[in-house]
Structure formats: structure tokens, C-alpha cells
Chains A and B, each alone.
Chain A
Amino acid sequence: MQDLLQPIMNGILLGGLYAIIGIGLSMIFGIVKLVNLAHGDLMILASYLSLVFMMLLGVPPLVTFVFAVPAMFFIGFVLQAYLINRVLGKGMEPPLILAFGLSIITQNCLLLVFTPDARSLISSLSVTTIQVAGFLNIPVIYLIDFLIGLVVISVLHQFLQKTYMGRAIRAASDDEGAAQLMGINTKNIYAYAMGIAMITAAIAGVLVGMTFTFYPHTGPQYLTIAFGVVIIGGLGSMIGTFLGGIILGLAQLLGGYFLGPGLQLLSGYVILLIVLTVRPQGIFGRVT
């Protein structure tokens, strides 16, 4: 029994990180109606940006948020305003192909600049653990992942619920035409939404880099996790995304515990399939 508590604890904590990975994808799908296939790669781009800032300035990884967050907001805003907005409203395929292209370009640019070597954002936090009750070893970085996940989801929720721009974003997400009739420049709103989604990707990228190793082509792996989180939790629900992350994290670590580490990913996706079968709109999703 005591053995079991360790993977449960780690699974829940890791879920916080998964939630930040998923929330950006969920937001853009809900608001812009775009399946951002490049989400994972842009997140890994943020990991590399953080690495560059660490090397240039000699600061610890968490401090690089200060640079990575505005940089990724800017990248997201520009991508949406000058590239993605141009192909919206022209059918399903063009935005999808564009996102796929962005994914390939990002991966290969990273490969060109940083070589295929494994990297990580090393700090003392990554190797420290706290012992609880004598038998639970909590990795400090997992705890940080979880807490930041909680903060990111809460702040984003408050932003969308309480601010004027958040309300305009929800209006544009409900009905683009009607939002335009209210005087909202929806293309502009989309650019801000992508900027905000890239802020979450920046935070996720730095945390992933501190928690795991990454390569130029790790992005799609995290895109799959983001899809899993969003499908389990349900689109458009913040609480759902957070719990979706925790469920996926738990499924993976418990699967790893019972079936061996090789089957860790599989058990996550089995849960995903079960949710899709039983409740296709996700646990907290609304039926539309």
C-alpha cells in the first residue's frame, strides 16, 4: 500500500504540468477553431529559448520565465496576426496544413541550431526531493510543476471570466460573426488569444525542460499529451483541463507501476480511449 502512494503522488503532481501543456491547445481550439499541430513544437522552442537565456545570462531556469514568456507571447501574436489569420475561413484544410508546416519548420530549425543532442534545464531543483512521512519521496520539481499548473489555470480562468478582453474572447469563441457585430475585431482578438496560449506554452516549455530532457523533435510527444488532457477533461473547461492532466498523469504512473515502465504511455491512452467511448465530450465538456 505504501508503495502505491508514491506513483499516485507523482501522477497527481505531474498532472499539473500536463494541464499547462494542454490548456494552450484547448484554448486555441475553442477560440480560433484551429487544431494547432505545432503546439508541442512551439513549447519545445520555449524550452530552447530558456536554455539560451540560461547560457547567456547565467541565470537559473525559473528566472528565464521573465524572458521566455514575453518572447513566446510575441511569437504567438505575430504568427496568428500575419500567418494563421490569413488562412482562416477558407475551409478546414488550410489552417491544419499551415500548423503542420509550422511544426516541421520549428523542429528542423531547432535541429539546425541546437543539434540533435539531448538537453535539459539543469538546476539544483531538478535533483532535490522532499521526504514526507518517512517513505514518500516528492521530487521538488514535480511539486513546482503542480503548483505553477494550478496558478496558470486559475489566472487564465479569472482572466477569461472577469476582464473585458476575456469576455470579448469568450464572445468571439461563441459566435465570430455576432462578435464582429458588437464591434470586436475578431482577428485581433485571435492574435491576443494565440499570444496568451503561447505564454502557457512558454511556462510549460521551461517546466518540461527542468523536469525531463528534450530534443528538437520532442514536440509531437507533448502534442499527444496535450490532446489526451483535452479529450479527457473536455474542451473549454478549465477545471476539466486540470483534472484531465491529473487523470492522464495518474494513469501513466499507475500503469507504469503495475505493468512496468514500458507500458506507461499505453495505459494513459487506454484511459483516453475509455473516456472517448463512455463520454466523448470529455468529463467536464459541454455537449453542443
Chain B
Amino acid sequence: MLKVRNLDVHYGDFQALWDISIEVGKGKVVSIIGANGSGKSTLLNTIAGLLKPSHGVIEFRGESIHKLGPHEMVARGISLVPEGRRLFPSLTVFENLIIGSYAPRSRKKRDLALGKVYELFPILKERASQMSDTLSGGEQQMLAIARALMSDPSLILFDEISLGLAPLIIKNIYQTVREINQQGITVVLVEQDVKRSLKAANMAYIILEGKVVLQGEPSTLSEKTVREAYFGL
């Protein structure tokens, strides 16, 4: 479904990603694991169109998309839950949600999508008229996920969704990620938490200093080799 080939990304003179190639099959959960500053978020932001690659190709459903802007990615069915959630503080919970289906393709199905996300996160329905910055951390993360689902994506990218949350809430969030995947949505997870993301994934890529250093199905990767790759030992 998504193919990234030989991707280089620069911030000015600094090269953040080196010749990255990953492949995400339809209906799969793919984990991208790496330490802080390894380039995981850069990779997701480039797939979502916020950054432009200096070299390489991103293909989605056979179409080359790396020259498109982020709003055009959403229109094609790619949705990113960004690091730090980035909710709109001057909008209510309800308004955050309906802005999520701004793309013309999603706008027609807005009510259907709203019903679905309220089913997934009943708490958001209760909080609909509250301002988004009055929610708790866990609720804010739910809202960020729900907002991304409002565009009716076929591929959803999660950037560090467990960051700063209590263990029990993280468990719930991962349960939700599984449910989203079971609905047929392809998932890419970016995490620092090795154990949890290996457990959730069908396929894992370990990134170190902007390069893929290890890849494979989680069952074939021992925790020891992953750890070594993660820390560059």
C-alpha cells in the first residue's frame, strides 16, 4: 500500500534521513522504532507531506505522492496523529473533530465518521462542547486520534502516541489502535517503547541516526538484537 524508496531528507545542511526504504502492506501494523532524534518523526512527517524529501520516492497505492502538500495527502487517505497531539486550542472538542473531515472526500461522510469516533471514544461525546485544552492528557490523545479518523483514512500514522501518558491509559490507547486496525485501516506506529511496539506490529523497522539498521517480523527479531540495533552497539 505504501512504499518508501531510498528516501533522503535534509533540514538545511543537516541530513536527517539516509536512504530509507520501507514497505507497508494493506491492513498491516508496521512499527518504526528508534531512540530520540533517530529520525522517526522526520520519516512520518515526510510521508504526511509536511517535509519534502531531497531524494527518493514515496508511493501510495501506486501513485507517487512525495511532491504533494499535506492537505493533498489527506485527500488520498493518509492521516497523521502528530507528536504532541497538536490540537486546536481555540476550538471545542466537537469543532476539532469536524475540522478533521475538511477534505472534500471526507466532508460528505462527516456524520458517519462522527458516529464512529463517538462509538470508539464515548468520553469525547460527553466533552463535545468543552474547549480542547481543558481535557486531560489521555483525553487529548483520544481526541487527536479521533480527529485523524474523521478524514476516513485508509492509512493512519501514529507519532509517539504513548508519550507522557500513564501506563493504564497507554494500554487503552493501544487497545484502540488494534480496534482501528481491525476496521481495515493500515497502521504505522512510531515509538521509543521497544517492547510495546514490537508486540503490536506485523513488521518492524529499527532506525538509528537516520538509517534503517534492522528490519523484520517481530517474531524473527530477538529482543537482544533489537536492543543492540536501537542503541547502536
Interface residues of A (CB under 8 A from B): 164, 167-168, 170-171, 173-175, 177-186
Contact = CB atoms under 8 A, between A and B. Distances in A.
B50 A181 contact: yes
A167 B75 CA distance: 19
Given A167-B91, A177-B50, A185 B71 contact: yes
Interface residues of B, number: 29
B79 A181 contact: yes
B204 interface: no
A182 B86 contact: no
A85 to B, nearest CB: 12
Nearest to A166: B95
Contacts of B86: 175, 177-178, 181
B82 interface: yes
Contact of B91 (A171, A185, A186): A171
Contacts of B101: 183
B155 to A, nearest CB: 13
Contacts of A181: 48, 50, 70, 74, 79-80, 82, 86, 148
A234 B101 CA distance: 31
Q: Which 6 A-B pairs have the closest CB atoms?
A: A183-B103, A183-B74, A180-B70, A178-B86, A183-B102, A174-B88
Contacts of B106: 183
Interface string B92-109: 000110111111001000
B71 A180 contact: yes
A106 B87 CA distance: 39
Nearest to A173: B90
Contacts, number: 68
A168, A178, A181 pick with most chain B CB within 10 angstroms:
A181
A171 B88 contact: yes
A182 B71 CA distance: 7
Contacts of A167: 91, 95, 98-99
A185 to B, nearest CB: 5
B151 interface: yes
B103 to A, nearest CB: 3
B40 interface: no
13 contacts: A164-B98, A170-B88, A171-B88, A171-B91, A171-B96, A174-B90, A175-B88, A179-B99, A180-B70, A183-B74, A183-B106, A184-B71, A185-B71
Contacts of B98: 164, 167
Contacts of A178: 82, 86-88
A168 B99 contact: yes
B89 interface: yes
Contact of B99 (A171, A177, A185, A186): A171
A45 to B, nearest CB: 31
Contacts of B103: 182-183
Nearest to A174: B88
B147 interface: yes
A170 B90 contact: yes
Given A167-B98, A173-B90, A183 B71 contact: yes
B69 interface: yes
Nearest to A288: B89
A170 B48 contact: no
A181 B150 CA distance: 12
A50 B145 CA distance: 50
Contacts of A182: 71, 74, 99-100, 102-103, 147, 151
Given A170-B95, A181-B74, 13 more contacts: A167-B99, A174-B90, A178-B82, A178-B88, A180-B69, A181-B50, A181-B79, A181-B86, A182-B71, A183-B74, A183-B102, A184-B99, A185-B69
Contacts of A186: 71
Nearest to B48: A181
A167 B94 CA distance: 11
B71, B74, B91 pick with most chain A CB within 10 angstroms:
B71
A178 B87 CA distance: 8
A220 to B, nearest CB: 31
Contacts of B102: 168, 182-184
